[in-house]
Amino acid sequence: MNLTTWLIIGIFLLIVGLMVSDKINAVAALPLMAVSLCLIAGVPFKTVVNDVVGGGISGLSGAIFSTLLAAVLGEVIRKTGIAEKLIRSAAELGGDNPYVMAILCFMACGFCFIGLNGVGAKIMLGLIVFPIMLSVGVPRVIAAFVMLAGTSVGYFMNVSRWTFIGNLVGLEAADALVKKTALMVIVPCTIISILLIVAGIKVKGPVFSWAAKREDGGKGKDVPLYAVFAPVVPLFLVLAFEWNVNAALIAGILYAVSATQWKNRFHGVLDLINKSAYDGFANVAVTILLMMGIGMVLAAAKQEALLAPVKELLNMIVPSSPLLVILLFGVAGPFLTMYRGPLNPWGLGAALIGILLTTSLPLGLIVTLAWLYDYYVAVNDPTASQVTWACGYLQISVGKYTRGTFLVDAAAVLAGVILGVICFMA
């Protein structure tokens, strides 16, 4: 390896260290890495400014617009009471059985997040499902996992998430490969999540929280039953009629508004949409900034001066044997996403995923890895905002939560990688 390659490795490790030690966050780290690596590789300054920074900031524009529309849909679903109606309907079916209640809450959170998006929406669901689960004895660690895993499983069928994953690997949201891999990995992630929920309650036993009062008496807003299908309207339109993702999201917003506001003769509906847009955009502001940074990193990775040494390095490291691929990406991979690690797709992993496209790995396997690591980070990474909030609300340490979930949940990534290898490397 030449001096440039060693400097690239050094800068990469330095930024990883700064992120792990909380010296800088991902919003600052991604543009810093994109610019630093380009300058070290000898990319002309004008190219860095115009193509990497200026062009890269809009590189994920498709995902950005889909995320903004999904945020509006999520706020409409929240403000109209659709999400609360769905969760409380599931709770009524669960009765006082902690196993049934936890699984139903998991499924309800997943269903909601077919249409919802962002940390704010996860907090909203947590405020509803946590008291319900605690009141029937679901242990706090498992209650946190139910919400975090449920919402993350829902993302596999979320059309705005399809756009993000597709943009990450250079595909359209409606590309068959994006949908195929999402449908493939949702199976092990769902099965292992449910097994972890059941085993966690079994080992710990029902743990009743006297502070958690289950408010079954509250009727909430008067929401018709058919309105709860609002989260899946965009998914249905994309799958059944091949609608554009953004058009499908707009249709979802219109359906949610129409299904809940016709009784009021649509009085105040414009204020509802305006407020939903304002609050929704605010909830995903950090996510949008991260997408802009990821776009810069992907633009940097396409510069030949940087791509050549990194590609040479990865060709030395990335295995071609199916068994070694499973060991590297399935066994070690999940832990390399933790603490904003090098495989975190919302951090430095965005660059690596982009560069992996230049290696001999099949495209389908790379898309599978992007999906799996996106799921694992959202559920288990101690630095993820939703994880720290859930642990704080439930009054458990982040370390205790992570120790209770990350090893078992890593099995979902391993199973997904094995499926990816069988499908795309066999």
179-213: per-residue pLDDT in tens?
A: 999 999 999 999 999 999 999 999 877 675 544 45
Across the range 338-355, mean pLDDT stands at 82
Average pLDDT, the chain: 89
Q: How many domains does the chain have?
A: 1
Lowest mean pLDDT among 129-138, 218-227, 240-249, 284-293: 218-227
**Residue 217 reports pLDDT greater than 50:** no
For residues 318-346, b (16+ Cβ closer than 10 Å) or e, as one string?
Answer: beeebeebbebbbeebbbbbbbbbbbbbb
pLDDT in the model for residue 144: 96
pLDDT in the model for residue 250: 96
Per DSSP, 49 falls in state: I
Burial class (CB in 10 A: 0-12, 13-18, 19+), 47: middle
Contact (Cβ atoms closer than 8 angstroms) between residue 417 and residue 328: no
Instruction: Report, in angstroms and rounded to the nearest whole number, the Rg of the chain calculated over CA atoms.
Output: 22
**Residue 339 reports pLDDT greater than 90:** no
pLDDT in the model for residue 350: 84
Across the range 345-371, mean pLDDT stands at 89
Domain span at residue 321 reads 3-424
Output the six-digit token pair for 25: 């966050």
Packed helices 398-424 and 363-380: angle between N→C axes, nearest 10 degrees: 170
For residues 369-408, b (16+ Cβ closer than 10 Å) or e, as one string?
Answer: bbbbbbbbbbbbbbbbbbbebbbebbebebeebbebbbeb
DSSP 304-351: HHHHHHHHHHHHHHS--SHHHHIIIIIIIGGGGTTTT-TT-TTTTHHH
- For 206, the enclosing helix (H) or strand (E) is none
Output the six-digit token pair for 127: 């405020």
Across the range 32-59, mean pLDDT stands at 94
Q: Of the candidates 83, 93, 89, 90, which has an alpha carbon nearest to the alpha carbon of residue 127?
A: 83
403-419: per-residue pLDDT in tens?
A: 999 999 999 999 999 99
Q: Report which residue type is found at 88.
A: R
Output the six-digit token pair for 397: 């340490």
| Residue 8: band (very low, low, confident or very high) from pLDDT cuts 50, 70, 90 | confident
| Rounded-to-integer distance, Cα 106 and Cα 151, Å | 8
pLDDT in the model for residue 114: 93
Across the range 341-349, mean pLDDT stands at 83
| Rounded-to-integer distance, Cα 85 and Cα 108, Å | 10
Share of the chain above pLDDT 70, in %: 96
| Rounded-to-integer distance, Cα 55 and Cα 63, Å | 15
**Residue 392 reports pLDDT greater than 70:** yes
pLDDT in the model for residue 220: 55
C-alpha dist (Å) from residue 222 to 85, 90, 257, 258, 271: 9, 16, 13, 14, 19
| Rounded-to-integer distance, Cα 281 and Cα 275, Å | 10
Residue 238's SS3 state is helix
pLDDT in the model for residue 19: 76
**Residue 336 reports pLDDT greater than 70:** yes
Contact (Cβ atoms closer than 8 angstroms) between residue 305 and residue 361: no
Contact (Cβ atoms closer than 8 angstroms) between residue 311 and residue 8: no
**Residue 376 reports pLDDT greater than 80:** yes
**Residue 216 reports pLDDT greater than 70:** no
Share of the chain above pLDDT 90, in %: 56
| Rounded-to-integer distance, Cα 424 and Cα 426, Å | 6
How many CB atoms within 10 Å of residue 41?
22
Tokens 């605690």 appear where?
A: 134
**Residue 161 reports pLDDT greater than 50:** yes
